[in-house]
Chains A and B, each alone.
Chain A
Amino acid sequence: MTNLTTIPSAGATTAEPPAPAKETGRRVNPLGGVAHLALFLWALATVGPLIWVALASFKTNEEIFLDEPFGLPQSWAFKNFADAWSEAHIGQYFLNSVFVVLLSTAGTMLLGSMAAYVLARYRFPGNRFIYYLFVSGLAFPTFMALAPLFGIAQAMNLLDSFFGLIVIYIAYSLSFTVFFLVAFFRTLPHEIEEAATVDGAGHVRRFFQVMLPMAKSGLVSIAIFNIVGQWNQYLLPVVIMQSEDKYVLTQGIANISVSAGYQAEWGQLFAALTLSILPMIIVYAVFQRQIQAGLTSGAVK
């Protein structure tokens, strides 16, 4: 089986039209230079606004409005950060966000990968139907859901509860997760799973011990997409988390920016923003190897 499937495909892809052999250097250096320049410009466009935010987080209101935007702050004190953390309760909201996102991402990945696995790998009546049902959730505008969602949460006693927010985060991440993972599981080779079947592994074992390890890099990437998405979620927590001590980070940030209008502590706002971005950077730094590891490396090649 393996031979039959791999040999023709290898033949088909390597049979490139035999162009006349030109002498080209294997590593074209000028292109590398252009690449660096283009990436540098893009890096500037990416990082520019963020440096501005980071610098502003050290400045006073007057400095932010009147001085040069990219000028250095007069002092590098962490006052804004300390104020934001304790006075504006960003510390509390930060921990709330971490707690909710950890659990909801874990839940999303578990449920999403189970569903995506069977949808991608099993033929059963209703397969397509469920798939369409799942992914059509992607097209649903969140703001239209807010009013009915409030009603549901109230009826099920989920208002102001972390559990409720976690369930709702999971619900609103599953469509994306299933959509991505189904396509991903379909690209994984079948041979190893077959071998496991032959060796007598059951469904659960095949899923947890064969498929998940094979899919690791893809799962990590999608988990990170979900972490970022849920960390930045704003509309859903506004509906569910009503009492201030249960706010998540985005609510806290919005709170600073609206609370006092022109009296707002802009430095605190930017400090809070900087704080909110840091965990994402850390998550990425920790997992970048897996994200880069490729989507099907290892397994069967």
Chain B
Amino acid sequence: MTRAARPSFCRAGGTPLLTVEEELKMHAVDSRPTPADTPQAPPPRHVSRVRNRSQRDSRVAWLLSLPTLLILIGMLGYPLYRMIVLSFQNMRLKELFSGATPPWAGVDQYTKALTDGVFWGVVGRTAAFTVVSVTLSVLAGLGIALLMRRVHAKVRIFMMIAMMFVWALPQLVAAQSFRWLTDSDFGVLNYVLTQLGFDYATHSWFVNPWEGWAVITTLVVWAGIPFLAISLSAGLTQVPKELLEAATVDGASAWQALRNITLPILKPLLMIVTTLSVIWNFGLFTQNWALRDGHPEPVYQTLATFSYTQAFGRSSYSYGSAISVITVLLMLGVMVFYIRQMFKIGEVD
């Protein structure tokens, strides 16, 4: 909708590049009755000045992002580099202890992974879990955020504090608590179900993989909702009340108002939190690890635990690294989708 007006702005080089004269000129142009003239190039005598400015801007930009760049390259880039190198070698216990350079293995580790049925099973399981858990938590988070707009401020604050509780709980601790809750002998869950008249006295929740995954998914969704609900409810305050009221006056139903007003405004934020949830849940490690007591059965393995088990449990460090590299690549695929969406939104805005 603002396409017509913005590009001239952006072409001048982000916003801060306008010189005073250009700024004045643009205002002058704006006030003319023919706005179609706006995207004209500035007169030639400005060109060199604009270039100087843009060079200076470029310097400032690099300068401001330099500290972040250095820290990330040192503390994240280097370990990542080591992981990638390792994935092309064949490092076993022998090399670990002797400190010798492991033999080069080329793409052997990758061929091993990609031709392994077990690996594909893990990929499928991780993907399925991610889709289900992200869908559930985003829908629930959005629902709770919307509901919170409708209740009294005091209820809202109470809810926020309750959610902060869950959010502030370290993952490991939350997982431990769930292990206790679902314990077959002492668990609260079995106790409550038995009190309600069901025969769950010594029921083990992890014999049947569906039940086990239901517990894991419940834990992840439960722990994930607070982040989603709190950020989305902050985002909802962006939706102008007048617009919603106008829509109601015009006879729009609650559903129409949600679909046509609230969701489009919330979209950028919704995209961010969904992408983050996908990345976090795809990397599921702590929860299934702790609930299975550090020894997840094959049916409870996700990519992260599988990679860890291969690397540190079986001392196939290189194979574990290769699996991690593949995992990172899969996640980056999801993020590219997000980033393209974001740049699209940014350009229209």
Contacts and interface: CB of A to CB of B under 8 A. Distances in A.
A133 interface: yes
Given A12-B1, A174-B72, A32 B60 contact: no
A198 interface: yes
A198 B243 contact: no
Contact of A280 (B26, B30, B167): B167
Given A36-B155, A39-B147, A143 B285 contact: yes
Given A69-B188, A124-B57, A221 B76 contact: no
A141 interface: yes
Contacts of A176: 276
B191 to A, nearest CB: 7
A203 B248 CA distance: 44
Contacts of B67: 111, 114-115
Contact of A50 (B71, B165, B332): B165
Contacts of A149: 75, 79
A107 B222 CA distance: 30
Contact of A135 (B57, B311, B335): B335
Contact of B164 (A221, A234, A280): A280
Contact of B76 (A145, A294, A295): A145
A18 B251 CA distance: 8
A143 B62 CA distance: 30
Given A118-B61, A171-B74, A139 B335 contact: yes
A4 B35 contact: yes
Contacts, number: 315
Interface string A13-24: 110101111101
A46 interface: yes
B9 interface: yes
* A-B pairs, 8 with minimum CB distance: A280-B168, A171-B75, A294-B237, A139-B331, A145-B79, A124-B58, A148-B79, A118-B61
A44 to B, nearest CB: 9
Contacts of B60: 118, 122, 203
B246 A133 contact: no
Nearest to A249: B170
Given A9-B1, A139-B327, 19 more contacts: A9-B2, A38-B143, A115-B68, A118-B60, A122-B60, A136-B335, A139-B328, A139-B335, A140-B76, A144-B320, A147-B79, A152-B74, A167-B75, A174-B72, A175-B72, A176-B276, A228-B167, A273-B169, A285-B161
Nearest to B280: A138
A295 B168 contact: no
Contacts of B136: none
Contacts of A186: 342, 345-346, 349
Contacts of A147: 79, 82
A228 B168 contact: yes
Interface in A195-241: 197-198, 203, 206-207, 217, 221, 225, 228, 231-232, 234
B288 interface: no
B151 A32 contact: yes
A284 B324 contact: no
A130 B283 CA distance: 24
Interface in B140-197: 143-144, 147-148, 150-151, 155, 157-173, 176-178, 181, 186, 188, 191
Contacts of B155: 36, 39
Nearest to A272: B173
A238 B216 CA distance: 25
B306 to A, nearest CB: 11
* Majority secondary structure of chain B interface residues (helix, strand, loop or mixed): helix
B227 to A, nearest CB: 7
A5 B4 CA distance: 9
Given A121-B15, A144-B83, A234 B2 contact: no
A294 B2 CA distance: 23
Contact of A46 (B143, B165, B327): B165
Interface residues on B, range: 35 or more
A300 interface: no
Interface string B51-74: 000100110111011011101101
Contacts of A120: 346
Given A197-B16, A291-B230, A139 B5 contact: no
Interface string B1-33: 110111001100111101010010011001000
Determine which residue in A144, A149, A228 has the highest number of CB atoms from chain B within 10 A of its CB, and name it.
A144
Contact of B160 (A145, A203, A228, A284): A284
A194 B23 contact: yes
A170 B284 CA distance: 22
A135 B339 contact: yes
B83 A18 contact: no
B304 A143 contact: yes
A1 B26 contact: yes
A161 B89 CA distance: 33
Contacts of B163: 46
Interface in A101-128: 111-112, 114-115, 117-127
B104 interface: no
